[in-house]
Structure 1
Amino acid sequence: MSRVAKKPISLPKGVELKSDASGISVKGPKGTLSIHALPGVSVAVNDGVASIALAEGADDKFGGTARALLANMIKGVSEGYERKLELVGVGYRASMAGKALNLSLGFSHPVVFNAPEGITLETPSQTEILVKGSDKQRVGEVAAKIRAFRPPEPYKGKGVRYSGEKITLKEAKKA
């Protein structure tokens, strides 16, 4: 069994973990998440600590994956995940209209993005977007979709970027 799979996962207060033949579900204050059962992997909960066990003779490639997915689900339903995006460029703005995110990204038309279920979008300022949710994969996927509307270009760095993302700028053409 891998070193990752051997590490136990402590369950915070208010988080319930249920495991059966169909899959694993985790319920907490921020919602409920579930995954399908991975072959040869079982989850045991003792005194608020979850541990991964592999069946005898089972392929151990799923052990570390199951542990990482389970740890992400537990953190998601207890604390949640957040991804911050920044708009860089003259006239680039973001605003909320109900559940829809309106983006002005230098196109001839505004870009409207509707938040999927389980994801909340916030705009603390006109040039910042916060993507929040309990599912780590969905938060990252929504942030990537918003970034894809206008990725940072390499000459001036204008566009939608992740907070803290470093853009390597190219030198302009010399005449």
Structure 2
Amino acid sequence: MDETKQINLPPKYLGIQEKTHLSGFSMASDVLTGSLLRTLAASKPASRFLELGTGTGLSTSWILDGMDQKSTLTSIDNDEAFLSIAREYLGSDSRLELVNSDGADWVLSHLTNEYDFIFADTWHGKYLLLNEVLNMLDPGGIYIIDDMIEQPNWPEGHGEKAENLINELETRKDLTMTKLAWSTGLIIGVKSLNNQ
């Protein structure tokens, strides 16, 4: 089986990818992660989705491609230059709210929000404010992070941060979790229904 064959890209993906390359943004999720995001999004009809770290909108396009018409996606980023690319290609989708904000400011001012799916693709909700973001996840909701296998663009010392995060997630009683040494390294957690 070749997991890279026959992956149908989201409608706006190639345009976003071209602008992403021109912008110099180098932190985008890869196609395999995107494909998984779309599949997981398709499992959550009529749901509320949260993406922390829009970047230029590449992963956003995958999530939208999996969502049904009754779902909504809020996507947060603090870089207007990159967010403007997502706005250009995806901003007309009425299911999507793109927010230019510091991640910590946004999370701390939305602590009572509830989501069925959270993709944390930046520091907040992953290395920072993890508990606060996981508290936003409804029972049965999906939490997903990528880039958990060492990447060439990791700064010195980041490997230790990633290992500490993995160890912390492994001890949580409120998540049923799977670690995938695939793509860039993913962790998928589902919020326990009974919060054991």
* Structure-1-length-normalised TM-score: 0.29
Bigger Cα Rg? 1
Question: Which has more helix, going by share of residues?
Answer: 2
